[in-house]
Amino acid sequence: MTEAALEPRYAELVEHKPVERFLRMFLVSSRRADELILISPIIGTLKGVSVSMERLAARINRDRIRTYVITNEPEHSSHRGAIAILSRSDYTEIRFNASLHAKVYVCRYHDGGFALLGSGNLTATSIEKRIEVGILLHSRGRGADLVRELSEWGTVRLRTLSKLHKRMIPARRA
Amino acid sequence: MDFKEWFCLDGRESFTIDAKIYPADARFYFGRDEIKARLKAQIRRAFVDPGTPKMIIYGSFGSGKTQTLFHLHHYLLNELSGVAFKPHTVHLDLEMQSKSDHADWHLQLMEAVGKDTVSSWVNNLFNQVPNLEQELEGLFRDHNLAESTKNLRGGGDIPFLAWRWLCGYKLTASDLERLQVTRSLGDLGAGDMVKALVGMGHLAERNEEKLVFLMDEAEQFNNVRTGDATESLHNYIRKLSEPSNSSTGFIIAGFSLTIDDMPEMLYRVDVRTRIGENNYVEIPPLPTVNDVQTFLRELLSELVDHKRAEKRIVKEKLQVSLETYPLTADAFDLLSDFASQDPAKSLPRNAIRALNECAISAWDEQKPIVGTDIVNEIAPLIFG
């Protein structure tokens, strides 16, 4: 018997490139995610980072993952470029919220998932050049409830406060 | 006007029901009257014979097992009547790894009950009886268990040491001596620890309470890979299921598509015969379109403020009835139809999801009601 049985470790502090860590966890996993939530005031094409926006979008399309993106209205070319890449997918919904400051990333599987709550935007600058920190939550013990609550906050409450830019395009019923 | 006001929601932000996020949602149990009635009847009967509920609930992800557990928790605390004791329910999510064994399970259960609760039971008993030691010996039928439990009333660090002992930690020889016990709990195997748990149940009864564990995520037992660990867990549940345990109840919920898929230790024949076949209850998907409609109708009836909705319907001459608001009758039927097409996806979680998504879509377009156009766009995303 171990102390770990008492309180499974569900949260870890990530001091080195937390956003990249989240993206890698999502991409490396062989499991098909049910849902991906990307909440970041600024989003970039992630050029020069090990995980590019193109690669992220390709995975979303391959696995048909319902993806919710909430960000500020794009002002810079990299932000607009990222929105353009994500907009090409039928499985992404994109919303704008001018008041958004939170950075939250959630990956949900049918039996759990993981989430990152921290300071980093979804940009190459944030990943490569900035000192960022985040808390990575796993669906273990109390972490499961936290991941669930973040998902609910992102996919329901925050969405209804944000302006729809691009909706998901489902297959029409025959 | 925000989203909840737009759809006249009654004190909530969305159409989501989730007792883990909103504890008051435990009172809801929609569209499953037969299962609800069966579970409640079995629980009431169990308090008579064998004396406490022992049940296993299973079903697919999203079928409502967790909501069932929360609802039973609510039922035990707020609605159950005509039983001798007040249920003392302890809700926990199980956590198992590859080498987790009966000691890990025992620790989770004990910590879920909590040292403060057990200490208060001991203190209350002390105030009622002339000889606490004798009383505890009678409840636990084991000197070491009685001694450690008595020590929860001690001074200094003795109560914490006693709690660690009851939780199954291996203590040093000097700590054992301080507690005046001859061995660590669990030295004699899983049965030793079950004896502690059953004794706790008797202690609760002396305080006019009935200890019932509500354990979720039982599929975690599938993480256990070592043979010895699995056998020790099996021994633990087997002994807890014994007819002689009439004091400590459990309702265990976990993912399993059929009874054969559940962790083998839970349905091995010696456990099944002790628990009773009728105490293995499946929470299936919503089987027919009528069931989906009943589920949605009951959900909408609870979540929507009917007074406000009615005012809006009249004021804006909306083509919708109160019964299906904010969906039109056609949209309601269409959504129910979509939801019941594939039995594997006909799950409460998906139905709630689809309802929320349709409402968000209507909100985006500033439409006061959800029509078939929105359902046709959204439902395939959820139900395929």
Paired residues of B90 in beta bridges: B213
Q: What is the pLDDT of residues B56-82, one digit of tens each?
A: 999 999 999 999 999 999 999 999 988
Rg (CA), chain B: 25
Q: Is B158 exposed, middle or buried (0-12, 13-18, 19+ CB in 10 A)?
A: middle
Q: How confident is the model at residue A173 (pLDDT cuts 50, 70, 90)?
A: very low
d(CA A139, CA A40): 22
One-letter amino acid at A149 equals: E
Residue position matching structure tokens 């459990």: B250
Asked if pLDDT for residue B196 goes beyond 80, the answer is yes
Task: Search chain B and give the residue with CA nearest A34.
Answer: B382
3-state secondary structure of B148: helix
**What are B8's two structure tokens?**
């006249």
Nearest CA in chain A to B334: A173
| pLDDT for the residue A7 | 59
Q: Tell me, yes or no, if A99 comes closer than 8 A to chain B by beta carbon.
A: no
Phi-psi region of B180 (alpha: psi -120 to 50; beta: other; left: phi over 0): left
The chain B residue lying nearest A157, using CA atoms, is B13
Contact list, B255 vs chain A (CB under 8 Å) = 111
pLDDT digits (tens, 9 = 90+) for A109-146: 988 999 999 999 999 999 999 999 999 999 988 899 89
| Contact indicator for A113, A139 with CB cutoff of 8 Å | yes
Spatial separation of the C-alpha atoms in residues A93 and A152, rounded to whole Å: 16
* pLDDT score of A21: 96
Measured between alpha carbons, how far is B136 from B287 in angstroms, rounded to an integer?
Answer: 50
Residue B367 DSSP SS3: coil
Task: Compare all CA atoms of chain A with the CA of B378 and give the residue at the minimum distance.
Answer: A170
Instruction: Tell me what pLDDT residue A2 has.
Output: 47
Query: Is A4 touching B (CB cutoff 8 A)?
Result: yes
Question: For A74, which DSSP code?
Answer: P
pLDDT over threshold 80, residue B384: no
State the best of B109, B360, B367, B373 to mutate against chain A, taking most chain A CBs within 10 Å.
Answer: B360
Strand ranges inside A20-111, DSSP E: 35-39, 66-71, 92-96, 104-109
Kind plus residue range of the DSSP H or E element containing A158: none
In whole angstroms, what is the distance from residue A50 CA to residue B113 CA?
47
Residue B91: φ, ψ to 5°? -105, 130
Contact A89, A58 (CB under 8 A): no
Strands annotated E in chain B = 54-59, 86-93, 209-216, 248-255, 280-282
Which helix or strand (DSSP H or E) is residue A94 part of? strand A92-96
CA A111 to chain centre: 18
Note whether B355 and B15 are within 8 A (CB): yes
| A160 vs B: CB within 8 A | yes
Structure tokens at B108: 């989770």
Q: What is the pLDDT of residue B176?
A: 95
Q: What is the DSSP letter of B342?
A: S
Q: Is the pLDDT of residue A174 over 80?
A: no
Q: What is the pLDDT of residue B104?
A: 96
pLDDT higher than threshold 90 for residue B114: yes
Q: Indicate the residue type of A27.
A: L
Q: How far apart are CA B219 and CA B255, in angstroms?
A: 5
Band (B174; pLDDT cuts 50, 70, 90): very high
Amino acid identity, position A91: Y
Q: What is the pTM of this model?
A: 0.90
Please indicate if any CB of chain B lies within 8 Å of the CB of A76. no
B159 prior amide bond cis, ω within 30: no
CB contact under 8 A, A160 and B338: no
Whether residue A112 lies within 8 A of chain B, CB to CB, comes out as no
Task: Reduce the DSSP state of residue A114 to 3 states and report it.
Answer: strand
CB contact under 8 A, B61 and A8: no
Quote the pLDDT of residue A9. Answer: 84
Q: Which chain B residues contact residue A159 at CB under 8 A?
A: 360
pLDDT tens digits, one per residue of B233-284: 999 999 999 999 999 999 999 999 998 899 999 999 999 999 999 999 999 9
Output DSSP code: residue A170.
Answer: P
Q: Is the pLDDT of residue A171 over 80?
A: no
The tens digit of pLDDT for each residue in B350-367 reads: 999 999 999 999 999 999
The three-state secondary structure class of B68 is helix
pLDDT of residue B224 exceeding 50, the answer is yes
Q: How confident is the model at residue B310 (pLDDT cuts 50, 70, 90)?
A: very high
Residue A109 distance to chain B (closest CA, Å): 11
